[in-house]
Amino acid sequence: MRPTFLPALLALFLIPDHLSAAPSLVITLEGVPGRVRAQNPDLAAARLRIDEALGRIKQAGRLANPELETSFRHNTRFREGTLDVEFSQRFPVTDRLHLEKGISVTLLKAAEAEVREVERQLVARARTSVIRVLAIRERRELFSSQIALVSGFSEKLSKAAQKGEGSALDAATARLEAASVSAQLRQLDAEEAAVVGELKPLIGMQAGESISVGGNLAPPAFADGDANPALRPDFQAAMLEVDAARQGVDLQQALRYDDVEAGLFAAAERSEDAPNGADNDAIVGFRFRIPLPLWNKNEGAIKEAQATHERRKLEATALARRIRLEAESDRAQMVEWAKLIRELDETLLPLAAEQSKAADEAYAQSQTDIQTVFRSREKSLQLAATRLDALREFHLARVRHEAARGNQ
């Protein structure tokens, strides 16, 4: 082996395990909808509702099958007998078949809207999980920077204590503070693992596959436009259910009259006419049967269909109101979270930074104790974490607002 190969060979063995492993899937907030549409198994199962509706369309509006009836009679000596053959078909006297076909077409459109509604909910849930992961990651970065800062401060105090120029107790306190922040960091790891576990099935990942969330939480930005229930697939499905219920009333009214039945029959008879011998005879006829709506006029089914129609209309009205209220509430939450973020950025965080700097300078001049320094830093960390929480809640409210408006 040539010497030039040695560095490459050594580098191959020195590559860390997490770098040599298979790359993980990178998912971003913008890529969530496409991933859900392509890979989510629940959405794939929901799409079969469309096939079910297509099957119902194919079956609806068909005539009943015709009937063929035969009979044969003879005497014990097989000298005389009769053979009857009858062909009959039932026909509706109303537009029942057309109504059945129309209801099936409406329910197909409703099934398509229901599939879009399943997709809307899954996308919103997946985007919520992605935002939570991004928030956890940014909080981890915040804590990591705090750990680095406290660790450097602790090391500086330890060196000063070894030289007799500082307090060993202060150095130990600084190490405890760094350990405390490290414990919070490990809690974030557990939280992220839980959120990733919720995200994986939403984007159709298999067990054992790894995922990496890309991007970051952008500054607050408001979406334009008000909520329009007509854009929501669940409202579209609700209105189609109203149409189907109205058609159902017409269908039940048409079912007051049963189908009429028409048929053709033929009969052949052989009889013995003594003393002239056997005599053969044939008969051909037409039969028509009309049911009389005397006792059953389908009043109960008509009343039920009318009540269903009214219920569907009220449900659609309530859904439209709920959509507008949800969008209004989410918009109001976005406004409040944006106000808090602006207040933190413009006032509280700069003030906390000045206070922390003043505490550091006072401690360096022996004008205050170490606890004051850590309290000021803890307050700064707390305010920075509050800003992250506010930014996370803003984006979660934005996801809900966009989902309420029917946008994905």
Over range 327-332, report the average pLDDT. Answer: 92
Q: Give pLDDT, residue 12.
A: 37
Percent of residues, the chain, with pLDDT higher than 70: 79
- Least confident span in 36-50, 287-301, 368-382: 368-382
Q: For residue 267, report the phi and psi dihedrals to the nearest 5 degrees.
A: -135, 140
The whole-chain average pLDDT of the chain stands at 83
Second-level CATH architecture of 30-60+92-258+293-404: Up-down Bundle (1.20)
Nearest to 138 by CA among 400, 390, 309: 390
Query: Using CA atoms, how far apart are residues 314 and 248, in angstroms rounded to an integer?
Result: 17
Q: Give pLDDT, residue 29.
A: 87
Q: For residue 166, report the phi and psi dihedrals to the nearest 5 degrees.
A: -150, 180
Query: Using CA atoms, how far apart are residues 52 and 41, in angstroms rounded to an integer?
Result: 17
Count of CB atoms situated within 10 Å of the CB of 371: 14
* Cα R_g (the chain), whole angstroms: 39
Query: Using CA atoms, how far apart are residues 7 and 24, in angstroms rounded to an integer?
Result: 28
The one-letter amino acid code at 252 reads Q
pLDDT above 80 (res 225) = no
Q: CA-CA distances (angstroms) from residue 199 to 37, 129, 191, 373, 398?
A: 14, 6, 12, 40, 18
Percent of residues, the chain, with pLDDT higher than 90: 46
- Least confident span in 209-223, 230-244, 366-380, 394-408: 366-380
Over range 136-147, report the average pLDDT. Answer: 81
Query: Using CA atoms, how far apart are residues 217 and 397, in angstroms rounded to an integer?
Result: 13
Question: DSSP assignment of 68-118, as one string?
Answer: EEEEEEE-TTSSSEEEEEEEEEEE-SSSHHHHHHHHHHHHHHHHHHHHHHH
For 19-65, what is each residue's pLDDT tens digit? 344 457 788 888 999 999 999 999 999 999 999 999 999 999 888 89
Q: Give pLDDT, residue 214.
A: 86
Question: DSSP assignment of 192-248, as one string?
Answer: HHHHHHHHHHHTTPPTT--EEE----PPP-PPPS---GGG-HHHHHHHHHHHHHHHH
